[in-house]
Structure 1
Amino acid sequence: MKSRRRWRWRWEHRGFALGLALYTLLLLLLVSYMLDYGARRGRALGDWAWEGQPPPAPPPGEAAAPPAPRHEAKRNESEDSDEAGPGSRAGGKRHIYLHATWRTGSSFLGELFNQHPDVFYLYEPMWHMWQALYPGDALSLQGALRDMVRSLFRCDFSVLRLYAAPPGPRDPLAPFLPGGGGGGGVNLSTASIFGWRTNKVICSAPLCPAAPRARSDVGLVDGAACERSCPPRALRDLEAECRKYPVMVIKDVRLLELGALLPLLRDPELDLRVVQLFRDPRAVHNSRLKAKQALLRESIQVLRSRHRAAEPRGLPRRHPLLPPGAAAALAGVHPRQQHRAEFFLGGALEVICQAWLRDLLFSRRAPAWLRARYTQLRYEDLVLEPRAQLRRLLRFADLPSPPALEDFVLNMTRGAAYSSERPFLISARDAREAIHAWRERLSREQVREVEAACWEPMRLLAYPLSGQEDGDRQEGGTVPLQMFV
């Protein structure tokens, strides 16, 4: 009996020990999984803190060769360069992301790069994603947007297939173009790219041998002529052209906050540089109201992020207290009956201004190696000092400044009027009227509402409030902004 009891006790003890060991192992595996998941989630959503090491430098033997001359790099090489593949480093290729929001003048800024003969330019490719995933809110789409940017910067356009299905999305630029239409669907082509009718690469040789103008000619593309002369080409042909250019530029307005790009800024293969464009929020609101129906869906997507916006680590959401004197100036703001579209646009602008504030504070904490990859630009400075700002931007992108392009930017800011009835088309504008137009078109109540929502980023960007302008105003209604670069 004693031996049986001893035997049973030993087995029970061993079973308990085995169970304890298995439980401990399970806990260890669970902790390891959670840590790994947290790391992967941080990489997926962006580790929104500047702390971290700069991208690793290449081995000493690989860093010795200087880059090829900019005028001759890659673009003039033979088709052998196509063998490099979408993920290759392409021998010092630079990538520029133009970070902006709707109605800030970003199309004009992007067009300056579209005109440059050494640049491969894409106009708002993330439009496809937002249309396909509507009504997803802006914040939830940031990770997918960043991954799409990474693929496009590697000249891999197959990512567009994820967001294009029959019937293809209509190009909203099409109604403003004679014979405009919209293509898309499973068999993607150059005619599936958003804004393709004004793309200098798609609308010139070699992709379009019958194009009326050469790629090197500076001047706006006639969209109707491009549609007539340039039949659709396979995306692989466009990818091959993309790999030939020393600089690739993407302009988009759907990135909610700068921190989402941090994993790409740390990627040594991309050599990513970011230009962030700002504009007086009152002028932005005035311009958005002119195109309120066209911007309604995307304003709703932005507005849906208001109550669930993730905060960058170490940067809590600011609940602004009005500065001295501003409370009295804004005391006349009262709720009023608004048009439905105006209500959504106003709410979206408030979300955008808070995102601007976080970007501005976020960028001020940047270490030196990241400050060199990021610069800010105000629309007002660009149109009032077009040649000087163009040269600064091209130096930032390590590009030459052709005289024809300097003449182009000057002429585009010396037009006869503020705008036409086609707000999504690029045309020559009267820069000074474009800056001051909001004063005549917005009511005093509308101005106060915008200032109440956006006064903090306005202060950091040196846009004076209405009651302060008499003492602070310079030409264009702004005061100088201290640039990073």
Structure 2
Amino acid sequence: MKWQRFFLLGSVGLVSICILLSTVRNLVSINTNCPLSRVDKTTLQPTWPKNRVTSSNLSLNRDNKVHVIIFTRWKYGSTFTGEILNNNPDFTYFFEPIRREVYKNRKIHRGVFYQDLIPMLHNTLKCEFIDKNYTWWDEENKSLDCRYSKKLQNSILCEKSTIEKRDISAYLSKESRSRMVEEICRSVQHVAIKTVRVPDLKHLKSIVTDDSLNVKVIQLVRDPRGVYLSRKVTSDVCDMELSECDELKNNLNYWKDPPFWLKGRYMLLRYEDLADDPIEMVHIIYDFLGLPVPETVKSWLRINILKMSSSSKSAYSWRTKITYKTMVTVQRYCMDLLLMAGYKPVNSEKDLTNLKIPSIRKFSYPLMPNITFGVAKPNTV
């Protein structure tokens, strides 16, 4: 009889343990599926969820190596967006590598010109600089952007001589500089570039379709009324906005009706959404890339959380600083773009300064054409 009682007690204990483990497992599952916590407005300390990288994201990455192009225009918030990748130690980030060539060749026809510049972006993503006729880090141009790339900042290329206060790279040959940039680029797993001087996404097709790369394109857009104020344009606003808004509208067609070569490799990002909720948007960006958010990026966000709050306000500061007449002009020429990108027209001078009336519609992210999930659509509210 003793062995029967022992057997009975053991069975009950085993069942209890199983029930306890099942309960713990369910609680863990509930916690990991909780939505992203918002920023505590009182303490301004962000609460981070566990990384949300999914198997569907990772399946897009060959060997988890990612090559990112931030595709945008001037004064769209791209410097801030680039820092989301620049503060990741697994990325080598290049700040507008073609801009020096643009400055030197302003009079060249745009179509022909960009056909010559795209290979430069292509080779930058591939970390191929040796024997290339690139001059953006040459001594005579003084355009090695030590301020914008953390990987370059920490290299000898950005150190200064204590005697002459000159960049040490000035004493190196072009071949040596090229080799160093290539080694820096290859020293980490991922590469990212930002470009504000390529007018049409179609120019990137040869890069995106390179089977040796895993390219992801983030197209950053911004309300043209805010862009105008940020640039402080004083003349020819109609012609400038008309041309640029038409280009942006054409590029947004890639989002609405994506070609095969962009599906699963393209994400639309509005600057206002990033400024309003940087924590959530950073997670969405990294989910799109199929990568976890590193602690260095989280720390950077924590340090800059007050600055981000200011960025959110500046994203809409045009409503109190732009004149109604100017706003109407920009809005008229860019109306198609406004509606396509989810920005709301302002219908009166009174509505312009009434910040309780939103100037932007809500979007459901991620805004990316995907073979499996289809094209994201804006909400109706």
TM-score, normalised to structure 1, is 0.55
Q: Which of 349, 359, 373 is residue 265 of structure 2 equivalent to?
A: 373
1: CA distance between counterparts of 2:195 and 2:67? 14
Q: Would the alpha carbon gap of residues 477 and 431 (structure 1) be closer, same or farther in structure 2, given more than 3 Å must change?
A: farther
Instruction: Establish whether residue 93 from structure 1 lines up as the match of residue 65 from structure 2.
Output: yes
Match of 1:203 in 2: 153
Match of 1:231 in 2: 168
Query: For 1:381, what is the secondary structure of its paired residue?
Result: helix
2: CA distance between counterparts of 1:164 and 1:207? 13
Query: What one-letter code is carried by the residue in structure 1 that aligns with 2:118?
Result: R
Match of 1:352 in 2: 244
Q: Which of 295, 317, 325 is residue 437 of structure 1 equivalent to?
A: 317
Q: Which of 91, 94, 103 is residue 119 of structure 1 equivalent to?
A: 91
Query: For 2:216, what is the secondary structure of its paired residue?
Result: strand
On the 8 A contact 2:156/2:168 being kept in 1, the answer is no
1: CA distance between counterparts of 2:181 and 2:136? 17
Q: Offset of 1:231 from its aligned partner?
A: 2.7
Query: For 2:180, what is the secondary structure of its paired residue?
Result: helix
- CA displacement, residues 25-84 of structure 1 (integer Å, 9 cap, x when unaligned): xxxxxxxxxxxxxxxxxxxxxxxxxxxxxxxxxxxxxxxxxx9xx9xxxxxxxxxxxxxx
Query: For 2:315, what is the secondary structure of its paired residue?
Result: helix
2: CA distance between counterparts of 1:201 and 1:400? 20
Unaligned runs of 5+ in 2: 1-57, 369-381
Structure 1 residues 289-308: aligned runs within 5 Å: 289=232
On the 8 A contact 1:265/1:271 being kept in 2, the answer is yes
Q: Offset of 1:257 from its aligned partner?
A: 0.9
- CA displacement, residues 195-253 of structure 1 (integer Å, 9 cap, x when unaligned): 22332011115766x79xxxxxxxxxxxxx9x969732622111012112211000010
Query: For 1:277, what is the secondary structure of its paired residue?
Result: strand
Q: Would the alpha carbon gap of residues 411 and 389 (structure 1) be closer, same or farther in structure 2, given more than 3 Å must change?
A: same
Q: Which of 425, 439, 451 is residue 331 of structure 2 equivalent to?
A: 451
Q: Would the alpha carbon gap of residues 413 and 99 (structure 1) be closer, same or farther in structure 2, given more than 3 Å must change?
A: farther
Query: For 2:279, what is the secondary structure of its paired residue?
Result: helix
Query: For 1:196, what is the secondary structure of its paired residue?
Result: coil
2: CA distance between counterparts of 1:413 and 1:470? 29
- CA displacement, residues 130-186 of structure 1 (integer Å, 9 cap, x when unaligned): 012122244442212212111211212358735569xx7xxxxxxxxxxxxxx435x
Structure 1 residues 41-120: aligned runs within 5 Å: 93-120=65-92
CA-based RMSD of the aligned residues comes to: 3.3
Q: Offset of 1:475 from its aligned partner?
A: 8.2
Match of 2:12 in 1: none
Unaligned runs of 5+ in 1: 1-66, 71-88, 169-182, 186-190, 212-224, 293-338, 416-427
Match of 2:360 in 1: 478
On the 8 A contact 1:114/1:200 being kept in 2, the answer is yes
Larger Cα-atom Rg: 1
Query: For 2:281, what is the secondary structure of its paired residue?
Result: helix
Q: Offset of 1:372 from its aligned partner?
A: 0.9
Match of 1:408 in 2: 300
Work out the number of aligned pairs and report it: 298
On the 8 A contact 1:463/1:479 being kept in 2, the answer is yes
On the 8 A contact 1:93/1:247 being kept in 2, the answer is yes
Match of 1:269 in 2: 212
On the 8 A contact 2:76/2:221 being kept in 1, the answer is yes
Query: What one-letter code is carried by the residue in structure 1 that aligns with 2:245?
Result: C
Query: What one-letter code is carried by the residue in structure 1 that aligns with 2:269?
Result: L
| Worse overlay, 471-480 or 250-259 | 471-480
TM-score, normalised to structure 2, is 0.69
Query: For 1:457, what is the secondary structure of its paired residue?
Result: helix
Query: What one-letter code is carried by the residue in structure 2 that aligns with 1:121?
Result: Y
Match of 1:134 in 2: 106
Query: What one-letter code is carried by the residue in structure 2 that aligns with 1:451?
Result: Q
Match of 1:161 in 2: 133
Q: Which of 117, 120, 133 is residue 148 of structure 1 equivalent to?
A: 120
Q: Would the alpha carbon gap of residues 231 and 476 (structure 1) be closer, same or farther in structure 2, given more than 3 Å must change?
A: farther
| Worse overlay, 263-272 or 136-145 | 136-145
Query: What one-letter code is carried by the residue in structure 2 that aligns with 1:184?
Result: E
Instruction: Establish whether residue 393 from structure 1 lines up as the match of residue 343 from structure 2.
Output: no
Q: Would the alpha carbon gap of residues 394 and 442 (structure 1) be closer, same or farther in structure 2, given more than 3 Å must change?
A: same
Q: Would the alpha carbon gap of residues 268 and 473 (structure 1) be closer, same or farther in structure 2, given more than 3 Å must change?
A: farther
2: CA distance between counterparts of 1:250 and 1:152? 8
2: CA distance between counterparts of 1:237 and 1:365? 41
2: CA distance between counterparts of 1:287 and 1:123? 20
